[in-house]
Chain A
Protein backbone atom coordinates (compact mmCIF):
# COMPACT_ATOMS: atom_id res chain seq x y z
CA UNK A 1 0.00 0.00 0.00
CA UNK A 2 2.81 2.34 0.88
CA UNK A 3 4.62 1.83 -2.42
CA UNK A 4 1.43 2.62 -4.29
CA UNK A 5 1.12 5.84 -2.37
CA UNK A 6 4.70 6.84 -3.28
CA UNK A 7 4.17 5.89 -6.91
CA UNK A 8 1.09 8.12 -7.02
CA UNK A 9 3.02 10.92 -5.33
CA UNK A 10 5.52 10.82 -8.22
CA UNK A 11 2.70 11.55 -10.65
CA UNK A 12 1.48 14.31 -8.42
CA UNK A 13 4.83 16.12 -8.62
CA UNK A 14 4.30 19.47 -10.32
CA UNK A 15 6.90 21.61 -12.08
CA UNK A 16 8.49 23.95 -9.57
CA UNK A 17 7.83 27.64 -10.07
CA UNK A 18 9.65 30.41 -8.29
CA UNK A 19 6.45 32.43 -8.02
CA UNK A 20 5.92 33.18 -4.31
CA UNK A 21 2.49 33.03 -2.65
CA UNK A 22 2.54 36.74 -1.80
CA UNK A 23 3.01 37.64 -5.47
CA UNK A 24 -0.01 35.73 -6.74
CA UNK A 25 -2.94 37.87 -7.86
CA UNK A 26 -6.45 37.31 -6.49
CA UNK A 27 -7.94 37.27 -9.96
CA UNK A 28 -7.11 33.82 -11.43
CA UNK A 29 -7.52 35.11 -15.00
CA UNK A 30 -4.95 37.88 -14.50
CA UNK A 31 -2.65 35.47 -12.68
CA UNK A 32 -2.85 33.03 -15.61
CA UNK A 33 -1.90 35.86 -18.00
CA UNK A 34 0.97 36.85 -15.69
CA UNK A 35 2.27 33.27 -15.80
CA UNK A 36 2.04 33.27 -19.57
CA UNK A 37 4.09 36.47 -19.78
CA UNK A 38 6.51 35.24 -17.12
CA UNK A 39 7.37 32.20 -19.22
CA UNK A 40 8.24 34.42 -22.18
CA UNK A 41 10.65 36.71 -20.34
CA UNK A 42 14.24 35.86 -19.62
CA UNK A 43 15.68 36.38 -16.18
CA UNK A 44 18.60 38.81 -16.64
CA UNK A 45 20.56 37.25 -13.80
CA UNK A 46 20.24 33.52 -14.56
CA UNK A 47 20.08 33.96 -18.28
CA UNK A 48 18.73 30.56 -19.27
CA UNK A 49 15.76 30.70 -16.94
CA UNK A 50 12.50 32.51 -17.39
CA UNK A 51 11.49 35.00 -14.70
CA UNK A 52 8.83 32.46 -13.68
CA UNK A 53 11.48 29.84 -12.93
CA UNK A 54 14.16 32.03 -11.42
CA UNK A 55 14.66 32.71 -7.73
CA UNK A 56 16.77 35.80 -8.43
CA UNK A 57 15.63 39.02 -6.74
CA UNK A 58 15.46 40.90 -10.01
CA UNK A 59 13.23 38.16 -11.49
CA UNK A 60 10.91 38.55 -8.52
CA UNK A 61 10.70 42.30 -9.02
CA UNK A 62 9.99 41.75 -12.71
CA UNK A 63 7.17 39.32 -11.87
CA UNK A 64 5.68 41.89 -9.52
CA UNK A 65 5.99 44.58 -12.19
CA UNK A 66 4.24 42.34 -14.76
CA UNK A 67 1.35 41.83 -12.31
CA UNK A 68 1.09 45.52 -11.43
CA UNK A 69 0.84 46.42 -15.09
CA UNK A 70 -1.80 43.75 -15.74
CA UNK A 71 -3.87 45.05 -12.83
CA UNK A 72 -3.59 48.56 -14.27
CA UNK A 73 -5.16 47.18 -17.46
CA UNK A 74 -2.21 46.65 -19.81
CA UNK A 75 -2.54 43.95 -22.48
CA UNK A 76 -0.01 41.08 -22.50
CA UNK A 77 1.73 42.66 -25.47
CA UNK A 78 1.96 46.06 -23.77
CA UNK A 79 3.62 44.51 -20.74
CA UNK A 80 6.11 42.59 -22.88
CA UNK A 81 6.80 45.68 -25.02
CA UNK A 82 7.60 47.70 -21.90
CA UNK A 83 10.14 45.15 -20.66
CA UNK A 84 11.68 44.89 -24.14
CA UNK A 85 11.99 48.71 -24.27
CA UNK A 86 14.11 48.49 -21.09
CA UNK A 87 16.17 45.37 -21.76
CA UNK A 88 16.04 44.78 -25.50
CA UNK A 89 15.03 41.70 -27.52
CA UNK A 90 17.40 39.66 -25.37
CA UNK A 91 14.74 39.32 -22.64
CA UNK A 92 12.47 37.44 -25.01
CA UNK A 93 13.07 33.70 -24.75
CA UNK A 94 11.54 33.38 -28.23
CA UNK A 95 13.61 35.60 -30.52
CA UNK A 96 11.40 37.88 -32.67
CA UNK A 97 11.31 37.46 -36.45
CA UNK A 98 13.01 40.52 -37.95
CA UNK A 99 15.90 41.65 -40.13
CA UNK A 100 18.51 41.23 -37.41
CA UNK A 101 17.41 37.67 -36.62
CA UNK A 102 16.97 36.32 -40.17
CA UNK A 103 20.31 34.48 -39.92
CA UNK A 104 19.05 32.81 -36.76
CA UNK A 105 15.75 31.69 -38.29
CA UNK A 106 16.95 30.78 -41.80
CA UNK A 107 20.52 29.67 -40.99
CA UNK A 108 19.76 26.03 -40.11
CA UNK A 109 17.51 25.59 -43.18
CA UNK A 110 20.17 27.03 -45.47
CA UNK A 111 22.83 24.77 -43.93
CA UNK A 112 20.63 21.69 -44.45
CA UNK A 113 19.92 22.62 -48.09
CA UNK A 114 23.66 23.15 -48.57
CA UNK A 115 24.37 19.72 -47.07
CA UNK A 116 21.76 17.95 -49.21
CA UNK A 117 23.11 19.75 -52.29
CA UNK A 118 26.66 18.68 -51.46
CA UNK A 119 25.69 15.03 -50.98
CA UNK A 120 23.67 15.09 -54.22
CA UNK A 121 26.58 16.58 -56.19
CA UNK A 122 29.01 14.12 -54.64
CA UNK A 123 27.06 11.04 -55.70
CA UNK A 124 26.19 12.35 -59.13
CA UNK A 125 29.78 13.20 -59.89
CA UNK A 126 31.03 9.83 -58.69
CA UNK A 127 28.62 7.88 -60.92
CA UNK A 128 29.50 9.93 -64.01
CA UNK A 129 33.24 9.86 -63.30
CA UNK A 130 33.28 6.14 -64.17
CA UNK A 131 32.61 6.86 -67.86
CA UNK A 132 35.23 8.67 -70.02
CA UNK A 133 34.55 12.38 -69.99
CA UNK A 134 32.78 13.84 -73.02
CA UNK A 135 32.29 10.56 -74.93
CA UNK A 136 29.32 8.31 -74.46
CA UNK A 137 29.51 5.97 -77.45
CA UNK A 138 32.38 4.18 -79.17
CA UNK A 139 33.68 5.45 -82.49
CA UNK A 140 33.51 3.23 -85.60
CA UNK A 141 37.22 2.38 -85.30
CA UNK A 142 36.83 1.39 -81.67
CA UNK A 143 33.85 -0.83 -82.44
CA UNK A 144 35.83 -2.64 -85.08
CA UNK A 145 38.76 -3.17 -82.69
CA UNK A 146 36.45 -4.37 -79.94
CA UNK A 147 34.83 -6.87 -82.29
CA UNK A 148 38.26 -8.11 -83.33
CA UNK A 149 39.36 -8.58 -79.73
CA UNK A 150 36.19 -10.46 -78.84
CA UNK A 151 36.60 -12.68 -81.89
CA UNK A 152 40.17 -13.49 -80.90
CA UNK A 153 38.91 -14.50 -77.50
CA UNK A 154 36.48 -16.99 -79.03
CA UNK A 155 39.17 -18.90 -80.84
Chain B
Protein backbone atom coordinates (compact mmCIF):
# COMPACT_ATOMS: atom_id res chain seq x y z
CA UNK B 1 0.00 0.00 0.00
CA UNK B 2 2.76 2.37 1.01
CA UNK B 3 4.79 1.55 -2.06
CA UNK B 4 1.80 2.23 -4.31
CA UNK B 5 1.54 5.64 -2.66
CA UNK B 6 5.00 6.56 -3.95
CA UNK B 7 4.54 5.02 -7.40
CA UNK B 8 1.25 6.82 -8.03
CA UNK B 9 2.69 10.29 -8.81
CA UNK B 10 5.15 8.71 -11.24
CA UNK B 11 2.32 6.78 -12.90
CA UNK B 12 0.22 9.94 -13.17
CA UNK B 13 3.19 11.77 -14.66
CA UNK B 14 3.70 9.04 -17.26
CA UNK B 15 0.02 8.99 -18.25
CA UNK B 16 -0.22 12.78 -18.63
CA UNK B 17 3.19 12.92 -20.32
CA UNK B 18 2.09 10.17 -22.71
CA UNK B 19 -1.00 12.10 -23.77
CA UNK B 20 1.02 15.29 -24.24
CA UNK B 21 3.67 13.43 -26.26
CA UNK B 22 1.00 12.07 -28.62
CA UNK B 23 -0.55 15.54 -28.77
CA UNK B 24 2.74 16.99 -29.99
CA UNK B 25 2.72 14.72 -33.03
CA UNK B 26 -0.81 15.74 -34.11
CA UNK B 27 -1.30 18.44 -36.71
CA UNK B 28 -3.65 21.13 -35.33
CA UNK B 29 -4.47 22.24 -38.87
CA UNK B 30 -6.07 18.86 -39.58
CA UNK B 31 -9.63 19.15 -38.36
CA UNK B 32 -12.26 16.46 -38.65
CA UNK B 33 -14.63 17.31 -41.49
CA UNK B 34 -18.20 18.00 -40.46
CA UNK B 35 -19.39 17.22 -43.94
CA UNK B 36 -18.31 13.63 -44.54
CA UNK B 37 -21.50 11.65 -45.14
CA UNK B 38 -23.44 14.85 -45.76
CA UNK B 39 -24.80 16.08 -49.09
CA UNK B 40 -22.66 18.62 -50.90
CA UNK B 41 -23.65 22.07 -49.57
CA UNK B 42 -25.73 24.23 -51.90
CA UNK B 43 -23.54 26.61 -53.89
CA UNK B 44 -23.85 28.34 -57.23
CA UNK B 45 -20.66 29.96 -58.44
CA UNK B 46 -19.94 32.11 -61.41
CA UNK B 47 -17.79 30.19 -63.89
CA UNK B 48 -14.16 31.01 -64.49
CA UNK B 49 -13.74 33.87 -66.92
CA UNK B 50 -13.64 32.65 -70.54
CA UNK B 51 -13.93 29.03 -69.49
CA UNK B 52 -17.16 27.98 -67.78
CA UNK B 53 -20.04 29.87 -69.31
CA UNK B 54 -22.68 27.98 -67.36
CA UNK B 55 -21.02 28.33 -63.96
CA UNK B 56 -20.54 25.61 -61.38
CA UNK B 57 -23.19 24.56 -58.86
CA UNK B 58 -23.75 21.69 -56.44
CA UNK B 59 -26.31 20.20 -58.87
CA UNK B 60 -23.46 19.55 -61.36
CA UNK B 61 -22.03 16.97 -58.99
CA UNK B 62 -24.85 14.45 -59.33
CA UNK B 63 -24.53 11.28 -61.40
CA UNK B 64 -20.88 10.26 -61.13
CA UNK B 65 -18.08 9.96 -58.61
CA UNK B 66 -15.94 13.07 -58.78
CA UNK B 67 -13.37 15.14 -56.93
CA UNK B 68 -13.87 18.77 -55.93
CA UNK B 69 -10.52 20.51 -55.53
CA UNK B 70 -10.16 23.88 -53.80
CA UNK B 71 -7.24 25.84 -55.24
CA UNK B 72 -5.99 29.36 -55.94
CA UNK B 73 -3.31 30.98 -58.04
CA UNK B 74 -1.82 32.39 -54.79
CA UNK B 75 -1.51 28.94 -53.25
CA UNK B 76 1.99 27.44 -53.29
CA UNK B 77 0.95 23.94 -52.25
CA UNK B 78 -1.57 23.90 -55.12
CA UNK B 79 1.34 24.39 -57.51
CA UNK B 80 3.00 21.35 -55.90
CA UNK B 81 -0.15 19.29 -56.31
CA UNK B 82 -0.91 20.49 -59.82
CA UNK B 83 1.19 17.98 -61.87
CA UNK B 84 -0.61 15.10 -60.17
CA UNK B 85 -4.02 16.56 -61.02
CA UNK B 86 -2.81 16.78 -64.64
CA UNK B 87 -1.88 13.11 -64.45
CA UNK B 88 -5.39 12.23 -63.20
CA UNK B 89 -6.85 14.09 -66.17
CA UNK B 90 -4.49 12.58 -68.75
CA UNK B 91 -5.35 9.06 -67.56
CA UNK B 92 -9.04 9.83 -67.25
CA UNK B 93 -9.14 8.35 -63.74
CA UNK B 94 -11.86 10.58 -62.32
CA UNK B 95 -13.35 13.97 -63.19
CA UNK B 96 -11.84 16.76 -61.08
CA UNK B 97 -13.85 19.95 -60.58
CA UNK B 98 -12.25 23.09 -59.24
CA UNK B 99 -13.25 25.83 -56.82
CA UNK B 100 -10.96 28.75 -57.57
CA UNK B 101 -10.71 30.33 -54.14
CA UNK B 102 -10.06 34.00 -53.29
CA UNK B 103 -8.48 35.22 -56.50
CA UNK B 104 -7.49 38.90 -56.38
CA UNK B 105 -9.22 39.45 -59.75
CA UNK B 106 -11.15 37.62 -62.48
CA UNK B 107 -8.02 37.02 -64.60
CA UNK B 108 -5.69 35.48 -62.01
CA UNK B 109 -7.30 32.02 -62.07
CA UNK B 110 -7.59 31.64 -65.86
CA UNK B 111 -4.01 32.92 -66.29
CA UNK B 112 -2.71 30.37 -63.81
CA UNK B 113 -4.47 27.51 -65.62
CA UNK B 114 -3.20 28.74 -68.98
CA UNK B 115 0.36 28.80 -67.69
CA UNK B 116 0.44 25.47 -65.86
CA UNK B 117 -2.23 23.42 -67.62
CA UNK B 118 -5.88 22.85 -66.88
CA UNK B 119 -6.79 19.60 -65.09
CA UNK B 120 -10.40 20.55 -64.33
CA UNK B 121 -13.77 19.64 -65.78
CA UNK B 122 -15.81 22.49 -64.28
CA UNK B 123 -14.38 25.43 -62.38
CA UNK B 124 -16.25 27.98 -60.26
CA UNK B 125 -14.86 31.34 -59.21
CA UNK B 126 -15.16 31.90 -55.45
CA UNK B 127 -13.59 35.28 -54.59
CA UNK B 128 -15.64 35.77 -51.39
CA UNK B 129 -15.29 32.26 -49.92
CA UNK B 130 -19.01 31.55 -50.40
CA UNK B 131 -18.54 27.94 -51.45
CA UNK B 132 -15.33 27.54 -49.43
CA UNK B 133 -17.09 28.36 -46.14
CA UNK B 134 -20.06 26.17 -47.09
CA UNK B 135 -17.59 23.30 -47.58
CA UNK B 136 -15.83 24.11 -44.28
CA UNK B 137 -12.54 24.79 -46.06
CA UNK B 138 -9.73 26.09 -43.84
CA UNK B 139 -6.90 26.24 -46.38
CA UNK B 140 -5.90 25.27 -49.89
CA UNK B 141 -5.54 22.78 -51.36
CA UNK B 142 -8.39 20.68 -50.04
CA UNK B 143 -10.09 17.96 -52.01
CA UNK B 144 -13.50 16.36 -51.51
CA UNK B 145 -14.57 12.98 -52.85
CA UNK B 146 -18.22 13.18 -53.93
CA UNK B 147 -20.29 10.09 -54.81
CA UNK B 148 -23.03 9.65 -57.45
CA UNK B 149 -25.76 10.86 -55.12
CA UNK B 150 -23.83 14.04 -54.44
CA UNK B 151 -22.75 13.01 -50.93
CA UNK B 152 -19.34 14.02 -49.63
CA UNK B 153 -17.46 10.84 -48.75
CA UNK B 154 -14.01 12.10 -47.85
CA UNK B 155 -12.04 15.28 -47.37
CA UNK B 156 -8.32 15.41 -48.02
CA UNK B 157 -6.37 18.34 -46.57
CA UNK B 158 -3.15 19.26 -48.37
CA UNK B 159 -1.70 18.31 -51.75
CA UNK B 160 -2.67 15.07 -53.46
CA UNK B 161 0.32 12.99 -54.54
CA UNK B 162 0.88 9.44 -55.79
CA UNK B 163 0.85 8.07 -52.23
CA UNK B 164 -2.44 9.72 -51.27
CA UNK B 165 -3.95 8.59 -54.56
CA UNK B 166 -2.86 4.93 -54.33
CA UNK B 167 -3.51 4.47 -50.63
CA UNK B 168 -6.63 6.52 -50.03
CA UNK B 169 -8.41 8.11 -52.97
CA UNK B 170 -8.25 5.32 -55.57
CA UNK B 171 -9.51 2.55 -53.22
CA UNK B 172 -12.34 4.82 -52.06
CA UNK B 173 -13.33 5.82 -55.61
CA UNK B 174 -13.26 2.16 -56.77
CA UNK B 175 -15.39 1.20 -53.79
CA UNK B 176 -17.94 3.97 -54.46
CA UNK B 177 -18.18 2.97 -58.14
CA UNK B 178 -18.75 -0.70 -57.27
CA UNK B 179 -21.50 0.28 -54.87
CA UNK B 180 -23.07 2.33 -57.59
CA UNK B 181 -22.74 4.97 -54.89
**Which chain A residues have a beta carbon within 8 Å of chain B's beta carbons?**
44-45, 47, 57-58, 61-62, 64-65, 83-88, 90, 118, 121-122
Contact = CB atoms under 8 A, between A and B. Distances in A.
Given A47-B28, A85-B34, A65 B139 contact: no
Interface in B112-147: 128-129, 132-136, 138-139
Given A57-B102, A58-B138, A88 B31 contact: yes
Contacts of A57: 102, 129
B82 to A, nearest CB: 21
Contact of B34 (A58, A87, A121): A87
B32 A88 contact: yes
A87 to B, nearest CB: 5
A88 B129 CA distance: 18
Given A64-B128, A87-B34, A45 B139 contact: yes
B133 A86 contact: yes
Contact of B138 (A44, A85, A121): A44
A90 B32 CA distance: 9
Nearest to B126: A61
A108 to B, nearest CB: 12
B128 A61 contact: yes
Given A58-B129, A86-B133, A45 B138 contact: yes
Nearest to B9: A118
B128 A90 contact: no
Contacts of A86: 34-35, 41, 133-136
Given A62-B129, A122-B5, 8 more contacts: A44-B31, A57-B102, A61-B133, A86-B133, A86-B135, A87-B31, A88-B32, A121-B5
B31 A90 contact: yes
B103 to A, nearest CB: 11
Contacts of B5: 121-122
The 7 closest A-B pairs by CB, nearest first: A61-B129, A44-B138, A86-B136, A88-B34, A87-B136, A90-B31, A57-B102
Contact of B133 (A62, A118, A122): A62
25 contacts: A44-B31, A44-B138, A47-B29, A58-B129, A58-B132, A58-B133, A61-B128, A61-B129, A62-B133, A65-B129, A83-B133, A84-B34, A85-B34, A86-B34, A86-B35, A86-B41, A86-B133, A86-B134, A87-B34, A87-B136, A88-B32, A88-B34, A90-B31, A121-B5, A122-B5
A90 B30 CA distance: 11
A57 B28 CA distance: 19
Nearest to A86: B136
Contacts of B41: 86
Interface in B39-91: 41
A150 to B, nearest CB: 35
Contacts of B35: 86
A8 B32 CA distance: 48
